[in-house]
């Protein structure tokens, strides 16, 4: 999922993000507002993930969400 699609589908994705990464607050998700780099940084901060691991987990979630849309 590209950056524009992440931002465009942010409201729908927020639920899936909270389900997978429950430590993310609503306020944090509102501040991130679909910005991929900010989301990855917050995942690294909250979960102690390496950048590559955070990117991989995010891509897996986005791919799953994209499949569910079809």
Cα torsion for 13, 33, 45, 54, to the nearest 10°?
A: 40
Q: How confident is the model at residue 65 (pLDDT cuts 50, 70, 90)?
A: confident
Report pLDDT digits (tens) over 53-62.
Answer: 999 999 999 8
pLDDT computed for residue 68 by the predictor:
79
Integer CA distances (angstroms), 51 to 36, 38, 54, 62, in order: 12, 12, 5, 16
Task: Enter the pTM of the model.
Answer: 0.86
Domain ranges of the chain: 3-69
Q: At 37, is the secondary structure helix, strand, or coil?
A: helix
Pick the CATH number of 3-69 from 3.90.400.10, 1.10.3720.10, 3.90.1150.10, 1.10.1470.10: 1.10.1470.10
65, two tokens = 């969400």
CA dihedral (57, 65, 46, 41) positive or negative: positive
Averaged pLDDT, 38-45? 97
Task: Give yes or no for a contact between 32 and 39, defined as CB atoms under 8 angstroms apart.
Answer: yes
């Amino acid at each position: 999922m590209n950056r524009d699609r992440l931002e465009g589908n942010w409201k729908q994705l927020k639920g899936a993000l909270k389900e997978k990464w429950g430590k993310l607050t609503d306020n944090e998700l509102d501040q991130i507002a679909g910005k991929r780099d900010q989301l990855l940084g917050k995942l690294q901060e909250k979960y102690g993930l390496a950048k590559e691991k955070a990117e991989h987990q995010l891509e897996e979630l986005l791919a799953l969400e994209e499949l569910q849309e079809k």
